[in-house]
Amino acid sequence: MIKICFICLGNICRSPMAEFVFKNLVTKENLQNNFYITSKGTSNEEQGNHLHPQAALELKKHNIPYNFHFASQIMANEYNDFDYFIVMDSSNYRNLQRIFQNDKNKKIFKLLDFTDNSKDIADPWYTSNFDLTYKEIEKGTKALLNHLITKYKL
Ligand code: 4NP
């Protein structure tokens, strides 16, 4: 079982979008029994909130199933619960390193590290560009799944 936690700042836009897009890809490949997939935020700003309405709309538009989401903050004692922490941007990366007090097993990656352009995924909370966010998440999650399929010979 490969345990993956997608991470952003608020856990209402990017990381739950990545969670549901990745779950959909995994299910389409019939690999759902190989994965535990969830998402969390580095802040507690949105604790308990559902997906941002525009994030939900974007998922609907692309026929990505999603279910009830309860935003939550990642805690320092959760480092050993996951194999991968997939962050959206460099700020999430720094915040998560601080929360875990380092990354001794090198579990933290930026989502677009798995593509040929390792940039940040802009925060639609500020840009309002959910369409671009979706496209980047789709590209990153496909690349991540291909990486894992090769690495673990799935
Ligand atoms: P996310 O977007 O990190 O993609 O979920 C944000 C959502 C809420 C806030 C910031 C970013 N906020 O400051 O409440």
- Token pair listed for 76: 């320092």
pLDDT in tens, 66-96: 999 999 999 999 999 999 999 999 999 999 9
Does 42 sit in the ligand 1 pocket, CB within 6 Å?
no
DSSP class per residue in 13-77: SHHHHHHHHHHHHHHHTT-GGGEEEEEEESSSTTTT----HHHHHHHHHTT---------B--GG
Probe target for ligand 1 pocket from 6, 7, 8, 9, with the most ligand atoms within 8 Å of CB:
9
Pick the catalytic residue from 5, 8, 13, 89: 8
pLDDT in tens, 27-61: 999 999 999 999 999 999 999 999 999 999 999 99
Does 46 sit in the ligand 1 pocket, CB within 6 Å?
yes
Per-residue pLDDT, 52: 97
31 Cα: distance to centroid of ligand 1 (angstroms): 30
| Helices marked H in 73-122 | 90-100
| Average pLDDT value over all residues in the chain | 97
Strand order in the sheet with 108-110: 35-41, 2-8, 84-87, 108-110
Tell me the pTM: 0.98
Task: Report how far residue 58's alpha carbon sits from residue 119's, in angstroms, rounded to the nearest whole number.
Answer: 21
